[in-house]
Amino acid sequence: MTDFETVVMVDWSARSAPSPRKPTADSIWIGVARGGPAEVSYHRTRAAATDWLISLFEAEIAAGRRVLAGFDFPFAYPRGFARAVTGSDDPLGLWGAIAGRVEDTGKNANNRWDIARAFNRLFDGGPGPFWGCPPGEISPDLEMRKTVDYAAIGLSERRAVEARIARTQPAWKLYTTGSVGSQVLLGLPRLHQLRLHFGTDLAVSPFEPAQTPIVLAEIYPSMLAADVSARRDPDEILDAAQVRVTAEAFRSLGPGQLSAMLAEGDPVEGWILGLGHEEELAAGLGPALLRPPPLRDDCFALPPGVDWTPVAEAVERLKAALHPVAKSETVLIAGASGRILAADISARRSHPPHANSAVDGFGFAQGSIGSAPHHLPLVEGRAAAGAPFDGTVPPGKALRILTGAPLPAGVDTVVLEEDCTIASDAIAFRGPLRRGANTRPAGEDVASGAAVLPAGHRLSAPDLALLAATGHGDVKVFERLKVAVLSTGDELAEAGQGASAATPDANRPMLAALLSGWGHDVVDLGLAPDDADAVRAALDAGAAGADAILTSGGASAGDEDHVSALLKSEGHLTSWRIALKPGRPLALATWRGIPVFGLPGNPVAAFVCALLFARPALSVLAGGGWIEPQRFTVPAAFEKRKKPGRNEYLRARLDGAGRAEVFPSEGSGRISGLSWSTGLVELGPKERRIAPGDPVLFLPYAGFGI
C-alpha cells in the first residue's frame, strides 16, 4: 500500500493575464501520477487551475484515493512576518490574512503590488521586507532593488529551509529572474480557498498532521533537476517535465516513506517536502528510458503549390513523414499475438531439435542390410517421441520406432510399418529404401541461429508456434500504440442515448473497433461539441494520454469545422486535399507533438480514410512499418461511369461467381452499405467507365485486418 494513491504536482504562475492558448513555460502546469506515467495538463489562469484541482480532489475523494498535492512556492515566510501581520506565528492564519487582501480575477488581473506595499508599511524605520517590481510600480513603499536591512526590521531574509539550498530565492523578492515572491502572494489565497472548500478533509504539511484524504505540501522541483533533465522529452516544456517527473518520483515512494517525509519540517516556517531524500526519490523513478523524439511539427507540410494530391502520392508523403514512436517491452509469447516485434528473431535451437522418425515403423542402418527382400531381426525395446531408445541398434538389425522419436545410434532409415510383415522377433519388407527414408534431419525446418522473423513483423498465431519451436519463451515487442478517438459535432449523441433528433455517434465505436483490431490501445476521448474550448480540452487529454489521435467530423474548412480551425491556430495543420471519393480533405496535424488524423465526419468517408491512411500511418508509429492493403483483380459485376483524376472506393463484396458487386447507392451517408460490404473496389485515377466483366481491384476488409 502506498501512502497516497494520487500525487499531484503543481507548477504555479504569477502572470497578470491569462497564459497563451498554446502551452507555454511560466504558466500553470499540473502533473498527476497514480502509479504509471503522470498525466500533465496546462492551465491558463489561477482561477481555472484552482477549479480544476477542486474537481480533481473531489473525484479522488469519491474514488477513495488519498491525494498529496505539491505546490512549488513557499507556504510560509521567515519567522516573525506572520506575527507582524496577524499577531500570531500561525502560518495558516497568515494565509487567511493574505487571502482577505488579495484580489485576483478569473483573468489573472491582481493587486499584488498594492498588497506588498501595504505589508511593507507595517515595518517602521526603513523599507519593508518585500522588494522588486516593474518600473511603473516603484513607490516609496516598494523598491525595484533590495535596500532592506532584515535584521533591523526583526526578520531574516531566508527561512531555515532555504538556507539549506543556496539556489532558492527568498519569498520577499517579487520580480525578475527566478523570483517566487509574487507566486506566494497569489498562491496562498488559492490554497486558502482549497482549505475552506475541503475543511477537515484537507491538511497542510507540516503545519497540520498529514492524516487527511487531501494533503498539501510545498515542493521545490529543481531538487530533482538532474532526474528531470534525464527524462525530459526533446520538445517537452521544462515546467511540464518537472511536474511530470516530480509527481512520478513522489508517487513511487514505498509504504511509509511519504508519510515520514510529511512529518518533517518547521511548524512556523514550513518545509520543502522531500528535502534530504533526493536519492530515495530518484531511486523510485528507475533508470531513465530513452524516449523517441516526437514528430517534427511540420512533418505533414506539403510543398508550396501542391493542391489536389493523388492517393498514391499522399501515401508516399505520409510514409516519409512518420517514424516509430513506441518503446519496447518483453512479453511472454502466449500473450504476444498481434504484437509487433521490436528486434529481429533468430532460432535459439534447431527445429526439429534432433533427427527423428517421420512415421511409425522400424529403424535400421540402411548400409547394413544387404539387398531386398530384407529379413531383419528386431532389437528388444522401442523408440518413442517422449521415450528415446538409449542403446545402439547393431548393423543388420531393426528397432521399433514411432513418429517423432529421436533416431537412436545405429539408425539412419525407417521403413513404414504398413510395408512390413511383422513377427514378434523379426520383420520382412521389400526395398529398396534410400538412406534417410522416412526420417527428418535435425534442423530440417529451421537451423539453430537461422533468421526467423524480422523486427517490425506483427505476430500471428502461427508465428507464436514458430517462436516456441525455435526456443523462445518471450519476445521483445513494441509497446502497444495508444490511439485516442474523438467524435465532434453538436448534432451527435452517444449511441443509444440523446434526443430523437440527434445523430447517433457511429464513428467512435467503429474507429475504436478498427484500432483494437489493429493491435492498438484505444483511449476514448468521447464526444465534443463544435466548440473550440471543448475540442482543445479533448485534444489536450489525447496528447497527454496517447501517441496519436483520430478525430472525426469538423475537418473541412467550414464555419462549424472547429477541429481544423483549432488545429490551424494552435497546432500545426496541413489539410491534404486528396483526390479521392469518398473523402474530402484529410486533416493531418500535430498537436503538442502528437500526430492527429482529422477524418471526415461522414462515417463512410471516415472509414475509407481510416483504412487507407490512418491504418498504415499508425502501423509506422507502432513500429510495424508501412502496410499495404491486399488487392485482388476480379471481374466487375457492375457498370459505372466515373470522373477521371481521382480514386474512388466503392463498398463491394464478391458474388457467388467471384465477381465484385457494389452497393446500389454510393451515398456517403449510407452506413448500411458499409455493413453490407466485405471489401472495397478501388478505381484508379485514369478509369472512366467500368462494364460488367471488366477487371477491377477488390480490397477485402480481411486484408485490412478487419
Contact residues: Mg ion, CB under 5 A:
489, 553-554, 601
Residue nearest to ligand AMP (CB): 601
Question: Among 164, 157, 156, 155, which residue's Cα sits nearest to residue 264?
Answer: 164
Per CB under 6 A, which region of 116-124, 419-427, 548-556, 688-696 contacts ligand AMP? Answer: 548-556
Instruction: Give 316 or 524: the residue with its C-beta nearer to ligand AMP.
Output: 524
**Does residue 492 interact with ligand AMP by CB under 6 A?**
yes
Residue number with CB closer to Mg ion (23 or 553): 553
User: For residue 493, what is its C-alpha cell?
Assistant: 449523441
Q: Please, which residue, 89 or 494, has the CB nearer to ligand AMP?
A: 494
Residue with cell 516556517: 269
Q: Is residue 550 at the binding interface for ligand AMP, with CB under 6 A as the rule?
A: no
- The entry of Mg ion, ligand AMP, none near residue 552 (CB within 5 to 8 angstroms by kind) is ligand AMP
Q: For residues 408 and 571, which CB has a smaller minimum distance to ligand AMP in the complex? A: 571
**DSSP secondary structure code for residue 417 in this structure:** G
Question: How far is Cα 102 from Cα 111, in angstroms, rounded to an integer?
Answer: 6
Q: Which is nearer to Mg ion, 601 or 623 (CB)?
A: 601
Query: 315 CB contacts (<8 Å, ≥6 apart)?
Result: 612, 613, 616
> Bridge-partner residues for 682, per DSSP?
649, 697
**DSSP assigned state of 471:** T
Judged by CB under 6 A, does residue 13 bind ligand AMP? no
Q: List the one residue out of 13, 185, 176 whose CA is nearest residue 114.
A: 185
Q: How many residues bind ligand AMP (CB under 6 A)?
A: 16
Give me Rg for the CA atoms of the chain.
36
Q: Which residue, among 358, 398, 367, has the nearest Cα to 381 in the 3D structure?
A: 398
Contact pick of 553, 616, 629, 700 for ligand AMP (by CB under 6 A): 553
Nearer residue to ligand AMP within complex by CB, 168 or 552: 552
Residue 177 has a CB neighbour count (10 Å cut-off) of 7
End-to-end Cα spacing for the chain: 42
Q: By CB under 6 A, is residue 673 in contact with ligand AMP?
A: no
Across 113-268, where does the E strand assignment appear?
A: 202-204, 214-218
Which residue shows C-alpha cell 520538445?
235
Three cell numbers written together for 429: 519388407
Piece in contact with ligand AMP (CB under 6 A), picked from 352-360, 484-492, 618-626, 698-706? 484-492
- 551: contact with ligand AMP by CB under 6 A: no
Cβ-contact 516, 522 below 8 angstroms: yes
Q: What is the full DSSP assignment across 364-415?
A: E-GGGS-SSSEEEEEEEEEEBTTB---SBPPTT-EEEE-TTPBPPBT--EEE
The residue at minimum Cβ distance from Mg ion is 489
If binding is defined by CB under 6 A, does position 525 make contact with ligand AMP? no
Interface segment toward ligand AMP; rule CB under 6 A; list 25-33, 324-332, 426-434, 599-607: 599-607
- Closest separation between CB of residue 492 and ligand AMP, Å? 5
Which residue in the set 221, 603, 623, 700 belongs to the binding site for ligand AMP (CB under 6 A)? 603
| Binding-site partner at residue 181 among ligand AMP, Mg ion, none, CB < 5 to 8 Å by type | none
DSSP 263: T
Of residues 504-523, which lie at the interface with ligand AMP (CB under 6 A)? 505-507
Binding residues among 437-466 for ligand AMP as defined by CB under 6 A:
none
The answer to the question of residue 609 lying near ligand AMP (CB under 6 A) is no
- Pick the piece of the chain touching ligand AMP (CB under 6 A) from 197-205, 569-577, 596-604, 640-648: 596-604
HSE of 50, CA atoms in CB hemisphere, 13 A: 22
Tell me which residues touch ligand AMP (CB under 6 A): 487, 489, 491-492, 503, 505-507, 552-555, 600-603
